[in-house]
Amino acid sequence: MPRKPTYEEIERRLKELDKEAVNYKRTEEALQESEKRFKSVINSIEELLVLVDQNFKLQMINKTLAKAYNVSLDEYAGKYCYELFYGRKHICEGCPAIKVLNEGKVTRGAIRYRPDGRIVDRAAYPFIDGNGDITGVIIIGVDITEQTQAEEKLRESEEKYRLLVESTPDWVWMCDLKSRITFSNNSVKKNLGYEIHEILGTSAFSLIHKEDRKSVQKWFQNAKKQKRGWRGSVIRWQHKDKSIRFLETIAEPIFDDKGNLMGYSGIDRDVTDRKLSEMALQKAHDELQEKTIRLEVKKNSLEEINTAIKVLLKKRDEDKIEIESNVLTNVKELIEPYFEKIKKTKLDDQQRALLSIMESNINEIVSPFTRKMSLKYLNLTPTEIRIANLIRHGSSTKKIAEIMNVSPRTVETHRKNIRRKIGLDRKRANLRSHLLSLH
């Protein structure tokens, strides 16, 4: 496809053609050749081209224009441009040819120059004859409909984007590679308390909480090296009123047409309430965990105390059994024999009564078990009575041996003697159960 000539080139060509036409107008053959060349040049131009005289009658159009308006190259001669192209009876309002004819100046601008509504960017030039008089107007146009529509769509898109950006409660921002803020929506006022003009050109790091500043700077440098954005990170910012705000940030890198990183655009959302709730929940969790640990320590301490108490209670029961056994043994060995001897002496009735009361009281002091055992099984020795009592309280042979400081074999011998004396030597009955049944 041939290169599109410039307006200056077309003007130069037209002037050259005009001069050639003047120089060769007396020579028909040269004139025809010139006209042929002129038409060839005109028709080779891809831009819309039309020549009108001072009365707005069409003198020439090129193929591009004829095709655009569906006009034959043989039908236009002598017709008015407004009549042929627009079906009008009068000159179109704002026609560029009017200004050229009146002022003799080149006129440029865009106009809906076609009936289908397409937009043409045109330049109108004065057509000057050999005497230097303006005898018409040459209009060259370029169809810019797609470009104009694209620009209109871009403007509409930008307007929608602007409305969207300004309607969101989140902070929308842009920054350069030095972290300087180059754009901000009005939500920065709600999120950080600043007006837009107060932060433009300011380093974002100066607004970040001082305790987080170094870590965010390092993070920003790494993102630049890798030419990547970030998502979901939470940064502490210093509000204008000196309070702290937690903002969750999302950002994407900005590249030029050569792929060079130019900066970042992002959206930050205020998550202060959520973050404070999480911190309060974490604090409560930590406190609960600490209390749990303290309770666990107390529990272990109580278990140790409980174990010690059990040992003491067990020792007390064993001591009780031993004391009871000793008391019974002493009563059996040290008191009862003397009762028998006293009874064999000559006692009056009063003495016998007192002795009986004394014996009765002593029997009340000792346990019912021992009383029954001593009365029913008088043939048990004191040692056997003591062992029987320990068996009754659930003590094992080994334990009884330890208490009485004898060998387990000795205890087993006494157990056999006890079973024999109470009639269980040939029975499978449990010795302890039998002793408990004596109550």
pLDDT digits (tens, 9 = 90+) for 313-341: 777 777 776 676 677 667 766 676 777 67
Say which range, 13-27, 192-206, 409-423, has the weakest mean pLDDT: 13-27
**Residues near 333 by beta carbon (within 8 Å), at least 6 away in sequence:** 382
**pLDDT 10s digits, 97-122:** 888 888 888 887 666 555 566 667 77
Tally Cβ neighbours within 10 Å of residue 21: 16
**Residues near 218 by beta carbon (within 8 Å), at least 6 away in sequence:** none
pLDDT of 35 > 60? The answer is: yes
Percent of the chain whose pLDDT exceeds 90: 23
Instruction: Give the bridge partners for 139, in sequence order.
Output: 50, 124
Percent of the chain whose pLDDT exceeds 70: 80
Residue 152 is inside which H or E element, if any? helix 145-167
- 219-224 contacts at long range (C-beta below 8 A, 24 or more positions apart): 220/179, 223/251, 223/253, 223/264, 224/177, 224/261
Which pLDDT does position 202 carry in this prediction?
A: 94
**pLDDT 10s digits, 236-291:** 999 999 999 999 999 999 999 899 999 999 999 999 999 888 888 888 888 888 88
pTM for the structure as a whole = 0.41
Which pLDDT does position 237 carry in this prediction?
A: 94
Q: Which two tokens stand for residue 92?
A: 């179109």
pLDDT of 423 > 50? The answer is: yes
Query: What domains appear along the chain, each with residue ranges and CATH number?
Result: 7-148 (3.30.450.20), 168-270 (3.30.450.20), 319-436 (no CATH)
